[in-house]
Structure 1
Amino acid sequence: MHVEIYGSPVLCADTEAAKALCDRRRYSHVVRDAAGDLISLCELRRRAPLSATLPQIFVGTHHVGDLAAFEAAERAGIIEQLLGGQ
């Protein structure tokens, strides 16, 4: 299982911050360009139809939310639990 970040890898400071957090914690992650790739945007809309901001972050099928929610879940140990103690 890994972290999926739907964001804008070039223009979004929050996407970069989510990637940096994954790198620091050594979480396996992938970034999907929801700002520049229509397929990724459609996939995001299917998975989180009410989301209005980027990035939107998932762990497996669990929608964590935006960067603030991801940071809070990481501090609470939830991300590591979702990843199975990675």
Structure 2
Amino acid sequence: MSEVKIDIYTKFGCGYCFRAKRLLDEKGVSYNEFDITMGGPKRDEMMERAPMARTVPQIFIGETHVGGSDELHALERDGKLDALLAGS
């Protein structure tokens, strides 16, 4: 797979975050993880990128805002995740 940029905003101890990262790891893709447990500029960045987001994880694949773990797994179930990860 080509290297599309993947960003995931997480918080410490978040089971949904762990689940999403596990799927991405199983896919063999690298991603940038931003821990926003304590807030800060990366939390502000996440809110700019996804203004309605109130939960973590928030996942971005390329320019696409996927949403959270449930949405990521839905893409996998629907057979659409690999194409997105390939930049298609």
TM-score (norm 1): 0.86
2: CA distance between counterparts of 1:11 and 1:52? 16
2: CA distance between counterparts of 1:6 and 1:77? 24
In angstroms, what is the RMSD of aligned CA positions?
A: 1.5
* Aligned: 1:4 with 2:12: no
Alignment correspondent of 2:18: 16
Any residues of structure 2 matched to 1:23-42 within 5 Å, and which?
Answer: 23-42=25-44
Alpha carbons 1:7, 1:33 under 8 Å: kept: yes
- SS at structure 2 position matched to 1:19: helix
Counterpart of 1:42, as a letter, is D
1: CA distance between counterparts of 2:13 and 2:81? 25
Aligned-pair identity in percent equals 35
2: CA distance between counterparts of 1:42 and 1:49? 10
Tell me how many residue pairs correspond in the alignment. 84
Which has the bigger relative contact order, CA under 8 A and spacing at least 6?
2
Give CA-to-partner distance per residue, 1:52-78, whole Å, 9 cap, x none.
111111101100011100100122232
Give CA-to-partner distance per residue, 1:19-45, whole Å, 9 cap, x none.
111111112212111222411101100
